[in-house]
Each structure stands twice: as structure tokens, then as C-alpha cells.
Amino acid sequence: MSSNPSPTRRKAAQPAVRRASFTRQRPTTARSQPFGIFGSILFHGLILAAAFLTFQRNLSTPEDSHVVPVDLVTVADQTNVAAQAPPTPPAPEPEKMDMPTPPAPEPIQPQMQDVEPAPEPPVPKFDIQKEKKPDTDKPVEKPQTKKEAQQDFAALLNKLTTPDKAQKNVKPGPRVIQGVGAGTMMTADLADALKSQMYRCWSPPTGAPDARDLVVDYDLNLNPDGTVARLQMTPSTAAQAAGNGYTRAAAEAASRAIYQCQPYRLPADRYNVWREINPLRFDPRQMMQ
């Protein structure tokens, strides 16, 4: 140890040298003041953004691995925070969805061929009057009361202290708090609500070889009334289903579950968050352990 003290000494000396050089360079830095200010702002901004996004992800509620049957109540019915602003007018009722009775087609001559699928008959489609999507980018013009202004400020503070996924993902609409419970803008509760409504309808394929690996993903779009607006396999699932009968069967079982359990009861005021679910994953691994 004592025979080789020089490295330690060198290390100790280095900061001093650096400090010295920094001191010497200060005038130089000062000369390029404009770039330094902008650079510094950009640099710090990026650090803040990176930290915010990173920690935000870490803080977000982890996905629950179990289904908690949730009886969803609307926020307006039970709340733990007093309303601070007049409640928003109720969301317009969606147009009543009429299931068109299939028109009695002209009797088709039997065209089935031996061991060939019959021609696709005309399939009636859900005639869903698509509700006009709430335009989140253009909030409804509304005279802002003093109370609302206070509330917005409070909300801003909340936002800084409790970052959440929903705000990151969705542009919020006109911000009117109508007496919210804890964690209203989190998505975990929505995911649980959906899971608890879907699980009773989902009969995963059991007994297939490697049945536990038959994980399928869907891209689901919902109408404001909780009915299915559009359902599509994700490209990867579609590709697997095309080449594997078991995956196709698993995907069809999931599709039946999605249709069977609709309409989904979800908070109408957060339609922006649950309008699209992608991926909606059906994963039987836990069930088959």
C-alpha cells in the first residue's frame, strides 16, 4: 500500500486541476452566453422530461395478475371529494342500436361443393350510429368561473404530484371535476373493470398442445355505450392464427367472449381513455399453471 501512493495522490490532484481549468474557462463560457442559456435550458428540460417519464412509469400501478370482480359505480353516485364545479351535462345517449333483422334473402340455390366451404352469405352488420367523437382538442368554450379557475390550479398541482398514465396517453377534455374519487384518471381501475366483465365470458382453450402459450391480442374499439364498435386481431395474432388452427380457435374464443359480454359498463366521462383498447390480451398462462 505505502509503496504506491502516487495514484491516490494523482486522483486527489485531478479535481483541483479540473476546478482550476473550469475557473480559467469561465470567461470563455461567458462569451458564448446566448448558446449557454438555451443549451442549459434545453439540457435541464430534457433531464426533467426524462426523469418525469421514467419515474412516472415506475410509479404507475403494476398490472394486476388476478381478476377482482368489480362492481363499477359511476363517479357521480359515490364520491369522496366534493364537487368543485357544476357537473358536466350528461353524455348524450347513444343512438339506440337496432339490430337489423336480416332481410329474408331470395332463396339461394344450394351451391355447396363437396368439402368446400359454402359461399359467404350476406352478413348483416351492426348498424351502429357512430356517436360523434368528443373533440378533445377543441374544448367547448365555456365561461370560466373563479371557482373553476381555482380548481384548475389545484388540478395542476395534483398533476405535478401524482403523475399518471392517462394524462400521458390522452389529451384531457374540458377539465371539469365533478367530485372524483381517488385515482380517477388512472387506467388500472379501467383495466380491472374490463377484466372483471370479460373473464366470465372467456372460455380459454384447454387441452390443446401448449395451450398455455395460446396468447392472443385484439385491437378493440368501443362505442360510448360500451358496445363493440370494431374488433380486430392485432397483426401478429392474425399472422399466427392464419397458420395455426389452435391459435385461430383461441382467437375466436376470445372474440366470442368480447361480443358476448358487451356492453361494458365503464365510466362515461372517461370514454377518451377506454375508447380504444390495444392490445386487449387474452393470456391463459396463469389459468394453466
Partner 1 sequence: MKKFLVLCAALLAFALASLPASAALTVDVTQGNAQPLPIAIPDFVPGGGGDPAAGANIAGVVRADLERSGLFRPLDPKGFVEHVTNINTVPNFQSWRSITAQGLVTGQVTQQPDGRLRVDFRLWDVYGESQMLGLQFFTTPENWRRIAHMVSDAIYERITGEKGYFDTRIVFISETGPAIKRVKRLAIMDEDGANPIFLTRGDYMVLTPRFNPTAQMIAYMSYIGAKPRVYLFDIETGRQEMLGNFPNMTFSPRFSPDGNSVALTLETAGNSDIYVMDLRSRSIRRLTTDPAIDTAPSFSPDGRQIAFESDRGGSQQIYVMNADGSGQHRVSFGAGGNGTPVWSPRGDLLAFTRQQGAHFTIGVMRPDGSGERMLTNAYHDEGPTWAPNGRVLMFTRVSPGGRDSQVWSVDVTGRNERRVLTPGSASDPAWSPLIQ
| Residues 160 to 219 in contact with partner 1, rule: CB under 8 A | 165, 168-170, 187, 190-191, 194-195, 198-210, 219
Q: Which is nearer to partner 1, 162 or 244 (CB)?
A: 244
- C-alpha 224/C-alpha 94 separation (Å) is 7
Q: Which is nearer to partner 1, 93 or 210 (CB)?
A: 210
Polymer length of the chain: 289
Member of 185, 255, 267, 269 binding partner 1 (CB under 8 A): 255
- Residue 159: count of CB within 10 angstroms of its CB: 14
H and E: helices and strands count for the chain = 8, 3
Tell me how far, at minimum, the Cβ of 95 lies from partner 1, in Å: 18
Judged by CB under 8 A, how many residues of this single chain contact partner 1? Answer: 89
Q: Is residue 237 a contact point for partner 1 (CB under 8 A)?
A: no
Q: Which is nearer to partner 1, 45 or 87 (CB)?
A: 45
CA dihedral 54, 58, 61, 64 (to 10 degrees): 120
Residues 25-54 that bind partner 1 (CB under 8 A): 39, 42-43, 46-47, 49-50, 53-54
- C-alpha 216/C-alpha 74 separation (Å) is 31
Residues 79-138 that bind partner 1 (CB under 8 A): 99, 101-102, 104-105, 107-110, 112-125
Task: Enter the C-alpha cell of residue 109.
Answer: 340455390
Per-residue interface string for the shown chain with partner 1, residues 61-80, x marking contact by CB under 8 A: --x-xxx-------------
Tell me how far, at minimum, the Cβ of 115 lies from partner 1, in Å: 6
Cα 243 from chain centroid (whole Å): 30
Pairing of strands 216-222, 276-282: antiparallel
Q: Is residue 279 a contact point for partner 1 (CB under 8 A)?
A: yes
Dmax over CA atoms of the chain, in Å, equals 104
